[in-house]
Chain A
Amino acid sequence: MIAIENVTKQYGRTVAVSDLTMVVGDGELCVLIGPSGCGKTTTLRMINRLVEPTDGRIVINGSDNRTSRPETLRRSIGYAIQSVGLFPHMTVEQNIGAVPSILGWERTAIAKRGRELLELVGLDPDAYAAKYPSELSGGEAQRIGVARALAADPPILLMDEPFGAVDPLTREMLQRQFMEIQTRLKKTIVLVTHDLDEAIRMADKVAVMRSGSLVQYDTPEMLLSQPADSFVRDFVGADRALKRLSRIPVTTLMKPAKCIKRGELSRTDCTRALPRYVWVVDGEGRLLGWTDTTQGPPTESWRMDEKELDRVSVRDTASLREALSHMLGQGVRSVPVISTDRRLLGEVTLRDIEEATVE
């Protein structure tokens, strides 16, 4: 647990953080957000004493963070930053092993841990361990940055825009992957961002800051449905209803979908009570596409193009916002939900989403 108690930071006359008090619970992912210069990064850096507060104190797991030397403190807290800051003269493995090596781990233990972490962040250890940072893409570098922060298995992780410097697609992929890691590891995380979507997608709690003060500290749902004041309302934006959808997984509104098995449909069936458009699956229940039943039954080998299929369906890990965006993009009123192995799990309809947002 991280307790920030009446912390103030002044640079000369400028007040960067003023009388900030907040608590981040164990295993929680807390996002600090706000316009630039609001003091979010300063707050983050005061936790591991890269910045010393002018007043107040920060208590980590029951003890004041000034009781041990700053270096000792920092070695027990993971740290990942936007510019990643990988050491260019070290291999990926050496980069990940930086903290363990300071802590004096055995060489073999460091190597083993490096491979473990590469696997954790979804990179093949054999291919990546010996690479140098200059040989990595932006997304790969940021993953290594996260792996490095996790190296000594610190209970706390501080992240300053850790997914900032990559394109939106990669960013979303990294965020999703990181959330999968977080559900397993349950670290206490403080993450700074200026990207509201990122905050809403990832946070257990969001702290909105403005000119060094905390304006609202709440769950993303509360932040979106009950903004504390006009500043927060403006900050979360007019599309906050839409943003709320991104917090809700598609599975919550998913219903069984009408589907037919390929090859198990005769011409007479088509004229019967089936709806005009139905999903078609194969023998194992994998989605093959949709068909217009008035055109007669699909042939034995019929299937939709894979890319086309990706466009009309969503994964079960997607949010309602993605499902909605699919429907609007395709001009359809329902979208099938599929599992990793493309099995059809059900469908989400536009009407259900409407009802869910109105309540």
Chain B
Amino acid sequence: MPAEPNVSHAKPRCSCVALLGTALGVLSLALPWLTLRTSRLAAGEGVLLWDVAGPAVVAVVALGWFAALVSSFDANTQRRALTLGVCGTLLAPLTLLIAGSGSTSLLSSAEEFARSSLGPGIWVGLIATYVLLHTARQSLGAQPFLRNVFTWAPLATIVAIGMTGAYNDLSLAREFSGNESRFAQEALTHIALSLGSVAIGACIAVPLGIAATRSRRAERPIFIIASAIETIPSLALFGLIIAPLSALSYAYPALREAGIRGVGITPALIALVLYSLLPIVHNTYVGLKEVSPAAMDAGRGMGMSRAQLARRVEFPLAAPLIAEGVRTASVQSIGNTAVAALIGAGGLGHFIFQGLGQAAPDLILLGALPVIALALLVDIIMRAAIAALTPRGMHTEATT
């Protein structure tokens, strides 16, 4: 354990990051928390925190941020982390709860089609609580239990409050309930399209990566093509594929009958597969190249055949890096799939573009927020899976 700084020559340090978070939190109090519109498409007017919440609630929120402010200057790292963590854990759900109940009270006195959306104050406040929780978790490096508490407790509370229907009067929730069946369908399409394309991409990219390590001649073209694809903006790539695909589908009616047309799932899938190639090819290549030559020599010298060497030494050692490539490709693909809605492939991007078309910000959010959540979720799950599947011997090697 490092010595406490109170006896050393160093100045007692405050946490700059925590201070920044607190400043954001205090700022959020001055910003409009909700936006009230007469209809879902109308321009809105900002509503401040004290217009929707009683003095007691305002006092609690202000007290929370004040506590965070004070503890930012706390030189005792452990105590600071705990205070910040507790503040964040309480403030994040509280902020959303105020948004939900505030909307309910606003709408009860407004016209029939009025909408209440999250205002800048809420967003800034949520970002600020995230900063607090993040700082707390960073300083709790050696205490995984507390780290987990400060990750999952706020999330669980937010979800639990949501289950009670407290957010139902928010415009976002209204958009959701208006599109409920469509939402489930598009979310499934999104998941299937993004992860399916990565699965297909991996089946192509891993052999390509192997080819690149095995043959000098193949190495350059493989990387040139894969990198070139990556530089094409996603929208352009979708467009590029439409033309040849529709020509094909015109020329061969059998293709058209099989559902392969210039627009729709097929071109999106092709483009997404192409996008997933580079990260996986690259990581396969690096993973295989980084296998210790000494281990390979020892394997060969002890009489392993080529196949045994690949199965017992080369691939197990390269696997964690290859899986990292698949993870990168998956996260990237979830984002790109949002764009695929433009060429009629569906997915959560559907709501984003519909919202853009109608200038309905909450409909955009209905598409955008789940895409972000999905990307984060896939990232967390795959990281955990990779960590769990990597042999212990290779973990320690990576950290030392």
A106-114, A129-137, A272-280: which one contacts chain B?
A: A129-137
Checking A84, A99, A135, A145 against B303 with a beta-carbon cut-off of 8 angstroms, the contacting residue is A99
User: What distance in Å separates the Cβ of A233 from its nearest Cβ neighbour in chain B?
Assistant: 34
B165 at the interface (CB under 8 A from A): no
Checking A50, A73, A135 against B396 with a beta-carbon cut-off of 8 angstroms, the contacting residue is A135
Query: When A98-B302, A134-B397, A135-B396 are in contact, do A86 and B295 touch as well, CB less than 8 Å?
Result: yes
In the complex, A135→B299 CA distance in Å?
20
* Contact status A102-B303, CB under 8 Å: yes
Checking B295, B296, B298, B308 against A102 with a beta-carbon cut-off of 8 angstroms, the contacting residue is B308
If over half of B's interface residues share one DSSP class (helix, strand or loop), that class is named, otherwise mixed; here it is helix
* Contact status B394-A88, CB under 8 Å: yes
Please, which residue of chain A has its CB at the minimum distance from the CB of B306?
Answer: A71
Chain B residues closer than 8 Å to A171, beta-carbon distance? none
* Contact status A81-B391, CB under 8 Å: no
A131-161 interface code vs B (CB 8 A; 1 in, 0 out): 0111100000000010011000000001000
Chain A residues closer than 8 Å to B298, beta-carbon distance? 79, 81, 84-87, 145, 148
User: What distance in Å separates the Cβ of A84 from its nearest Cβ neighbour in chain B?
Assistant: 7
User: What distance in Å separates the Cβ of A131 from its nearest Cβ neighbour in chain B?
Assistant: 8
B294 at the interface (CB under 8 A from A): yes
* Contact status A88-B393, CB under 8 Å: yes
A184 at the interface (CB under 8 A from B): no
B105 at the interface (CB under 8 A from A): no
Checking B299, B305, B308, B392 against A87 with a beta-carbon cut-off of 8 angstroms, the contacting residue is B299
Chain B residues closer than 8 Å to A303, beta-carbon distance? none
B313 at the interface (CB under 8 A from A): yes
Query: When A81-B298, A132-B392, A132-B393 are in contact, do A88 and B304 touch as well, CB less than 8 Å?
Result: no
Chain B residues closer than 8 Å to A48, beta-carbon distance? 301
* Contact status A73-B303, CB under 8 Å: yes
In the complex, A201→B308 CA distance in Å?
38
* Contact status B301-A102, CB under 8 Å: no
A79-99 interface code vs B (CB 8 A; 1 in, 0 out): 101011111111100000011
* Contact status B397-A99, CB under 8 Å: no
Please, which residue of chain B has its CB at the minimum distance from the CB of A132?
Answer: B393
B316 at the interface (CB under 8 A from A): yes
User: What distance in Å separates the Cβ of A72 from its nearest Cβ neighbour in chain B?
Assistant: 7
Please, which residue of chain B has its CB at the minimum distance from the CB of A101?
Answer: B312
Range of interface residues on A (Cβ < 8 Å): 20 to 34
* Contact status A88-B294, CB under 8 Å: no
B289-330 interface code vs A (CB 8 A; 1 in, 0 out): 000111111111111110010001100110000000000000
B8 at the interface (CB under 8 A from A): no
B400 at the interface (CB under 8 A from A): yes
* Contact status B313-A87, CB under 8 Å: yes
* Contact status B302-A134, CB under 8 Å: no
User: What distance in Å separates the Cβ of B117 from its nearest Cβ neighbour in chain A?
Assistant: 52
In the complex, A89→B317 CA distance in Å?
7
Chain B residues closer than 8 Å to A176, beta-carbon distance? none
Chain A residues closer than 8 Å to B292, beta-carbon distance? 83, 85, 88
Please, which residue of chain A has its CB at the minimum distance from the CB of B301?
Answer: A79
User: What distance in Å separates the Cβ of A70 from its nearest Cβ neighbour in chain B?
Assistant: 8
* Contact status A89-B316, CB under 8 Å: yes
B361-400 interface code vs A (CB 8 A; 1 in, 0 out): 0000000000000000000000000000001111011001
* Contact status B294-A81, CB under 8 Å: yes
In the complex, A88→B313 CA distance in Å?
9
In the complex, A83→B297 CA distance in Å?
10
A240 at the interface (CB under 8 A from B): no
Chain B residues closer than 8 Å to A50, beta-carbon distance? 297, 300-301
Query: When A86-B295, A89-B317, A132-B396 are in contact, do A102 and B300 touch as well, CB less than 8 Å?
Result: no
User: What distance in Å separates the Cβ of A21 from its nearest Cβ neighbour in chain B?
Assistant: 24
A74 at the interface (CB under 8 A from B): yes
5 closest A-B pairs (Cβ-Cβ)?
A132-B393, A85-B298, A85-B294, A74-B303, A75-B303
A: which residues have CB within 8 A of B?
A: 48, 50, 70-77, 79, 81, 83-91, 98-99, 102, 132-135, 145, 148-149, 158
B: which residues have CB within 8 A of A?
A: 292-305, 308, 312-313, 316-317, 391-394, 396-397, 400
Given known contacts A71-B303, A89-B394, A149-B302, what 6 new A-B pairs fall within 8 Å (CB)?
A74-B300, A87-B312, A87-B317, A90-B391, A98-B312, A133-B393
What are 10 of the A-B contact pairs (CB < 8 Å)?
A: A71-B303, A84-B298, A85-B296, A85-B297, A88-B397, A90-B393, A98-B312, A132-B394, A135-B393, A158-B301
